Structure 1
Amino acid sequence: MPLKRLAPLAAALVLGVGLAACSTGGGLIVNKTEGYEISDDALLQIRPGQSMELVNTVLGSPQTTSTFGGETAYYYVETKLATTAMGLSSIKERRVLAIYFDKNKKVKDKALYGAKDGKAVTIESRRTPSFGEDKTFIESILSSL
């Protein structure tokens, strides 16, 4: 008889241990980094006058580039997120490392931008009228028959 009373307790214990093993951080919120992780060591290695190839070797390929007037810029974006157990993510911090090159493909300057360096831009909600009429996908198919 005592074994029958201990069976539900043993099952709950096994289930609890199994679920604890599936946990990814031991808590309800997991912190992670998306994009390029900007380290202080990498920042110290990049100095004015260095070649674009050396920057590619030290930092890897940039996430985006910009070329204007013969000068190039590399951008590395780091986003730190907090993800809950329910899958909801919130941005804790975002930093952008910008490396500017001159026309000779040598490092001219570097900058590390954060949220305080950004500028809020309002998105215009008005629509520009266009010629013709807007049709749905089905209306387009029916009108072509």
Structure 2
Amino acid sequence: MFARPETVKSALRVALLVGVMAVVAACTATYRKHGWVPGPDLLSEVVVGVDTRDSVAETIGEPTIESLVDDSGYYYVTSRVKFFGAREAKVVSRDLVAITFDRAGVVDSVQRYTLADGRVVPLERRVTDSSIEDKTFLRQLIGNLGNFNPGSFLQ
């Protein structure tokens, strides 16, 4: 009816071993890679002063980010991010290739940057903040007391 002591000990050892393996596996760092940067062989095919936007896109591929303000460049970005347990994710490496164009759309320069070249530049979309961030329901209600027209309720 009762298990033998040797069986209980071996079951506890197996459970302990599984538990230790689970803890070790949970504390292992994982890495994710996002984006793509062309290698030196592809970049050597881009000729400064000769190639245009279309020829660069055809040779290398579409950029990760395209300059939206003045159409001055193509930007190819790759990032490697380290995740370790519950800690905040950390950018381990970031490579950026910037191909700039002159006003005529001809390649002006090809430059490569890494994290070692300067500070970390967060690549994120900027969103306009809401004006009701710090207002409670009661403040919003009181603030709107004078903002309605009683005549609109009568119609």
The residue number in structure 2 matching 1:124 is none
Could you tell me which of 7, 13, 24 is aligned with 1:9? 13
SS at match of 1:59: coil
Note the residue ranges of structure 1 that are not aligned, 5 or more in a row: 121-134
Gaps of 5+ in 2: 121-133, 146-155
- Would you say the 8 A contact 1:66–1:74 is kept in 2? no
Contact 1:52 1:106 in 2 (8 A): yes
- Measured after TM superposition, the shift of residue 38 of structure 1 is 4.7
Q: Is the 8 A contact 2:37 2:96 kept in 1?
A: no
1:81 alignment counterpart = 81
Q: Which of the two has greater strand per residue?
A: 1
Output the CA distance in 2 between the equivalents of 1:117 and 1:5: 57
Flag as ranges the 4+ runs of structure 1 deviating above 6 A.
Answer: none
- Report how far residue 23 of structure 1 moved: 4.2
Counting only pairs closer than 5 Å after superposition, residues 1-145 of structure 1 correspond to structure 2 as 1=4, 2-14=6-18, 19=22, 23=25, 28-48=28-48, 49-57=50-58, 58-68=60-70, 72-115=72-115, 117-118=117-118, 136=135, 138=137, 139-145=139-145
Q: Relative to 1, partners in 2 of residues 1:140 and 1:16: Cα closer, same or farther, differing over 3 Å?
A: closer
TM normalised by structure 2 equals 0.57
User: Could you say if the C-alpha distance between residues 107 and 142 of structure 1 is closer, same or farther in structure 2, counting changes exceeding 3 Å?
Assistant: same
Q: How far is 1:16 from its partner?
A: 5.4
Higher radius of gyration, 1 or 2: 2
Q: Number of residues paired by the alignment?
A: 125
Give the conservation status (yes or no) of the 8 Å contact 2:31–2:80.
Answer: yes
Corresponding residue for residue 125 of structure 2: none
Question: 1:119 and 1:35, CA in 2 relative to 1: closer, same or farther beyond 3 A?
Answer: same
